[in-house]
Amino acid sequence: AAVKDKKIYYHVLGTPQSADTLIYERKDEPTLFIDADTDETGRYLFFFTNKGTSNKNELFVKDLGNPIAPNLAAPARPLYPGHTAAYEPLGVVNGTLYLLTDRDAPNKKIVAFPIDRPDPKNWKTVVAQTKNSIESARLVAGKLAVNALVDVASEVQFYNLDGTPAGKITPPGLGAIAGPSGRYDRQDVFYTFTSPLYPSTVFRFDIATGQSTPFEPPKLTFDTSRYTTERVFFNSKDGTRVPMFITHKKDLKKDGANPTMLYGYGGFDVATLPTFRSDVPAFLERGGVWATANMRGGSEYGEAWHEGGMFEKKQHVFDDFIAGAEYLIREKYASPPTLGIMGGSNGGLLVGAVMEQRPDLFAVALPAVGVMDMLRYHKFTGGAAWATEYGSSEHAKDFAYLSKYSPLHNLKPGTCYPATLVTTADHDDRVVPSHSFKFTAALQSAQGCDKPVLIRVETLGSHGYRPTDKQIAERADQWAFALANMKLGSASTAGR
């Protein structure tokens, strides 16, 4: 069962936990998720509540007065009760609260208002909603830093507090930016950049000159100049335009014979950004093609994109992924005998559903720690929290669509499914390993050809979190299994 009765306590370093002071709880709704954060000055303490994994939150504030001697008994004043929109306080400057929200703005906007007058009629729009989804924002160096996605590539713009433009970050290439970070009252600004060919690197940004300097340049053991990442677009089953990033050797021969791995997630308002994975370069050096698709369900194009892959619309996610695979085949990056699919957690569900719906498209499937039993997932550990994304089989309407794609319940005996390596961990308390155990057993029973179906169980492992040596061993097994079960031709291996 999900954890209940969450509480926020105030703890003074050096004192026993028994002396902690309870400062916030919600006895009226014991299943709420509760979080807390202060503004930069330490005066204002904000409380957030969420229902399950929904991004819609309530927002409360407690005025602590002097942060050195905080008034813990101050009331937690409701700013936005109810869970109707997302509200993220960015900071308070001279009594004005700057707030990032998707209220009446599915791609998000930044508003400002006196902190004691939160009614939306008092809002002043500082950064308006645009066609680009805002991923994050921060008050740094006396400015508002806004990190938005432009067709899934990060773009950071700075604004003065009146909303006028004040510069931007020019990243090293097409990729993902985390941050910026820093303090409002200091000029130091930092951000992290990564791309499929650029390891995650911290940069210091000079807001006066607009120049970025790597805090410590990345060290690579392969020549990235031989490779390229391209952003392409394809149409899904219903005509929706979906982006995808494809990384490969510059001299790639499009003959359909290249080992290709398609990765996806597609859910929970999480964007699949073009980032670096340390295990991918070895695959690229063997002539591999690495593709990441940006299906509906994520935050790539704002809340509307997210909602397009939730509840009864989850099939859109699978349709998008299948259309991405068909694009790779049509454009001759790959062919069904050389194409694999990979995903973890919600992405493991994706792989399980898609390999069943279109087994003819793939040579290999690598579902990791996947949610495979969509009719009972809510009965284990924190699974009930996901009902705000998937729905629940406890409701007849939800059961109707969940049962149509639940990987455990849609295997057809005698069908030739792709060679499959299921991975899980015996101590995964987020997506319990029984999902993978049941799915593997059912798939082994249903398999209608000699393609292998195996499961790899990491001992003393959790939901993807484990020591580096164990991560390396698991990734090595996945790639070895994939390459061994792809029918590779002249384009496959020899470091052309």
The rounded distance, in Å, linking the Cα atoms of 372 and 435 is: 5
Known active-site residue 463: yes
The rounded distance, in Å, linking the Cα atoms of 289 and 245 is: 10
Amino acid letter, residue 101: T
| DSSP state, residue 50 | E
The rounded distance, in Å, linking the Cα atoms of 48 and 8 is: 11
The rounded distance, in Å, linking the Cα atoms of 65 and 22 is: 18
The rounded distance, in Å, linking the Cα atoms of 322 and 104 is: 32
Are 73 and 79 spatial neighbours (Cβ–Cβ below 8 Å)? no
- Residues near 35 by beta carbon (within 8 Å), at least 6 away in sequence: 47, 48, 49, 50
The rounded distance, in Å, linking the Cα atoms of 323 and 426 is: 34
Burial class (CB in 10 A: 0-12, 13-18, 19+), 293: buried
**Catalytic residue among 345, 393, 406, 436, which?**
345
The rounded distance, in Å, linking the Cα atoms of 436 and 424 is: 7
Q: Which two tokens stand for residue 496?
A: 């052309």
The rounded distance, in Å, linking the Cα atoms of 88 and 146 is: 13
What's the chain's Rg over C-alpha atoms? Answer: 24
**Catalytic residue among 200, 409, 463, 492, which?**
463
Amino acid letter, residue 186: R
Known active-site residue 316: no
- Residues near 13 by beta carbon (within 8 Å), at least 6 away in sequence: none
Torsion angle, alpha carbons of 371, 374, 376, 377, to 10 = 30
- Residues near 144 by beta carbon (within 8 Å), at least 6 away in sequence: 90, 98, 110, 126, 127, 137, 138, 158, 159, 160, 161
Evaluated on CA atoms 224, 226, 231, 234, the torsion sign reads: negative
Tracing tokens 């390999």 back to the chain, one arrives at: 355
Catalytic residue annotation = 345, 463
